[in-house]
Structure 1
Amino acid sequence: MTASVETINPGDVRTRTEIRAAFGGSPQGGICPSEEMQSVNLYSDPDVGERAGYYDGWLAEEDELGRVFEYTGAGKIGDQTFDGVAGSGNRAILRHAEQDRVLRVFTRVGKLPRSDTKTHRYLGTFTLDGMEPYVWRRVHDEDGHERNVLVFRLRQEGAVQHAAQDVIPAAAETTAEFVPFRAVTAAMFQSDPATSGALPLPQQRVRKGSSAGKAAAPNAETSGTFVVPEAFSTKLSVRAASAATVAVRHEAELTQAYKAYLDSLGHQTGAFQIKVEGLTSTFRTDLYDATDHVLYEAKGSNSREDVRMALGQILDYSRYVEMPSHDGEPTRVILLPAAPAPDLYSLLDRYEVGVVYRADDGGFVGAAVPKADQ
């Protein structure tokens, strides 16, 4: 049987041969671009992913735009990348809008009867989240080795299937597991081809309450993991840019600049990756100074709204930040591109949260800023 686009709808199960007839792509691999069909086909295998230390699927928690589907990039061994042949599939995902291609997601469900031919269920069409297209995540592979993987954040572009079995497992308990700092080469974060694509904002909100069914099985445990912070210093060219997307870019640039300053003083810097009992989302702090035990929450503007958001986030995240070499919770500091309104200082003082902001000369101002002679 030769499939057509019309015969493959969300929820349909097909072989890869049938999928290729409809949407193109290669006969093997997890990320399969097709120039002819203007498609990038993403294949997820739950068994392979779990052995490799990650889960693909829907987050149970919704934000103001609806549901997010997380898809882990290509590369089963070592740190994933956007560079070279190894990163070609990951580049195809990030540049899909620039190349006028649609993301189509499939998940493996089994095999044909009395055959080794795998079958895949079609979830539907997606696009990258325009605000946060991907995050870096620290995972342990099947041999227990730590590595950094790319997790793409997908928003539905058209009709999709929400099935209970596709929800990422929730964490069963909260722990704070510390993983020693491990350097990552800047090249994997700073590929021009990977960060020049146009990213559209989602075109359709996902309807709430559309994933009825039994809850997903929980993870074995929750962890707070010390990881390398994002070094996203190359500007994104964003289609339909908004003030929010510009602020995200400014936040990344500000965080990278302040991290570079701390590193120049010999400080050990990183971030915390947090999973909370009962939640499927993985949270990531912006910056952590392990030398002085200071947690930073960065924002791309000094607006009242951003300061209030940063205050809530840092009070939340700091509860989970524990280091054997330091007692108690970290010093909490908000990192801003400019000084906030004077009355906001009294608000932050009430919760013992400090402020560091960038001065006109490019330096940083604030009680938490370490000096070069320390």
Structure 2
Amino acid sequence: MTTSLEVINPGDIRTRTEIRAAFGGSPQGGICPSEDRHSVNLYSDPDVGEQNGYYDGWLAEEDELGPVFEYTGAGKSGDQTFDGGAGSGNRAILRHAEQDRVLRVFTRVGKLPGSDTKTHRYLGTFTLDGMEPYVWRRVHDEDGHERNVIVFRLRQEGAVQRSEQDVIPAAEETTAEFVPFRAVTAAMFQSDPATSGALPLPKQRVRKGSSTRKAAPNAETSGTFVVPEAFSTKLSVRAASAATVAVRHEAELTQAYKAHLDSFGHQTGAFQIKVKGLTSTLRTDLYDATDHVLYEAKGSNSREDVRMALGQVLDYSRYVKTPGQEGEPKRVILLPAAPPADMYTLLDRYDVGVAYRADDGGFVGEVVPKAGP
């Protein structure tokens, strides 16, 4: 019995014409929504991506919810956007759950013999990560120009093909590039109107047998100074959870404190960190370039969040280096209220300060800029 070409399973290789017959979408472009097939087809071309300063693929490092597939949005030159015609494909990805569509990912593998017709391998169905659906990232295109791209964080919805050839290449060398204040790249959670749709909550990770992948070396890193995008004050998801509320509170707190620093003329930003041997990109919450202070923000002042922030700020601060500043930055945890009293003793042991929001809406802390008398 012959299997219909319209039945496409993860791992199958098809032409775009065959994919369109099964899942709809346009005959060209990287992001192809289909209303009648309830699908948004995402095409990844490794060669094109590398030329334009990015890689799509699986992160080798899984988090507590499992694997993440990174897919870079539409726009080959200049800053990517969610606005207007240029941002229509990116909006389609962000609103796929609201519009009752699934994300289907394909990667180019070659061409039909004796033809210029491209072939694509089907990886499976995905959805956006409900906690962090996308991040802004600073990259360099093939001409060396800096630009901001949208990197969507995808979680598998059903059966998918995970192949080593689809893993993002690990960082090979140490680079340290300072990006001026005009640069914009940071984790974004939602903003109106581009991201007004509902996002699914991340599914609980199903633990399987241990991986055979060896741990990658991570002795060297690169750090890029970047500037935080405006954080949103709303996070729409299918169901409320303490985790999503904390994410929203953290974003609001970071934006408010950034505005406070800016009001005193401070240059503020963040650090985008690539660790040698790893595939994921780290991003700090906030960096005050004027006073050489690194902040790690949390949405609550609980003991658990303070301990997590402590570990993160100690980790990230090793890589924060900027011209004209000697040594590691001052490390500070940014909280919505004062932490439990005994946590000050723990933070003092590691020379980590605290800044928090006062009852009047201002901020309290030894490094917090204050107006003169």
TM-score range, shorter chain: over 0.9
Give, in angstroms, the shift of residue 215 of structure 1: 10
Segments of structure 2 that go 5 or more residues without pairing to the other structure are none
CA root-mean-square deviation: 2.4
SS in 2 for 1:329: coil
Alignment of 1:58-207 (within 5 A): 58-184=58-184, 192-203=192-203, 205=205
SS in 2 for 1:235: coil
Aligned residue pair count: 369
| 1:224-257 Cα distance to aligned partner (Å, 9 max, x none) | 1011113222412111221001101111111111
Counterpart residue identity of residue 82, structure 2: F
Give, in angstroms, the shift of residue 274 of structure 1: 0.4
Alignment of 1:1-374 (within 5 A): 3-4=5-6, 7-184=7-184, 192-203=192-203, 205=205, 208=208, 222-373=221-372
Give, in angstroms, the shift of residue 175 of structure 1: 3.6
Give, in angstroms, the shift of residue 207 of structure 1: 5.2
Counterpart residue identity of residue 325, structure 1: G
* Cα distance in 2 between the residues matched to 1:39 and 1:147: 29
Q: TM-score, normalised by structure 1?
A: 0.93
SS in 1 for 2:318: helix
Give, in angstroms, the shift of residue 2 of structure 1: 6.8
Residues 67 and 352 of structure 1: CA distance in aligned 2, closer, same or farther (over 3 Å): same
* Cα distance in 2 between the residues matched to 1:204 and 1:112: 40
* Bigger Cα displacement from structure 2, 355-364 vs 228-237: 228-237
SS in 2 for 1:110: strand
* Cα distance in 2 between the residues matched to 1:359 and 1:222: 36
| 1:210-230 Cα distance to aligned partner (Å, 9 max, x none) | 9868999x9xx9521011113
1:177–1:223 CA contact under 8 A, matched in 2: yes
SS in 2 for 1:124: strand
Segments of structure 1 that go 5 or more residues without pairing to the other structure are none
* Cα distance in 1 between the residues matched to 2:335 and 2:304: 12
| 1:332-352 Cα distance to aligned partner (Å, 9 max, x none) | 000111111101111111100
Give, in angstroms, the shift of residue 191 of structure 1: 5.0
Give, in angstroms, the shift of residue 278 of structure 1: 1.1
Counterpart residue identity of residue 119, structure 1: T
* Cα distance in 1 between the residues matched to 2:175 and 2:356: 32
* Bigger Cα displacement from structure 2, 205-214 vs 19-28: 205-214
Residues 69 and 207 of structure 1: CA distance in aligned 2, closer, same or farther (over 3 Å): farther
Give, in angstroms, the shift of residue 372 of structure 1: 3.1
2:355–2:368 CA contact under 8 A, matched in 1: yes
Give, in angstroms, the shift of residue 130 of structure 1: 0.8
2:133–2:152 CA contact under 8 A, matched in 1: yes
1:297–1:335 CA contact under 8 A, matched in 2: yes
Residues 364 and 73 of structure 1: CA distance in aligned 2, closer, same or farther (over 3 Å): same
Counterpart residue identity of residue 233, structure 1: S
1:67–1:206 CA contact under 8 A, matched in 2: no
* Cα distance in 2 between the residues matched to 1:156 and 1:207: 14
| 1:194-221 Cα distance to aligned partner (Å, 9 max, x none) | 22111112346365569868999x9xx9
* Cα distance in 1 between the residues matched to 2:185 and 2:125: 33
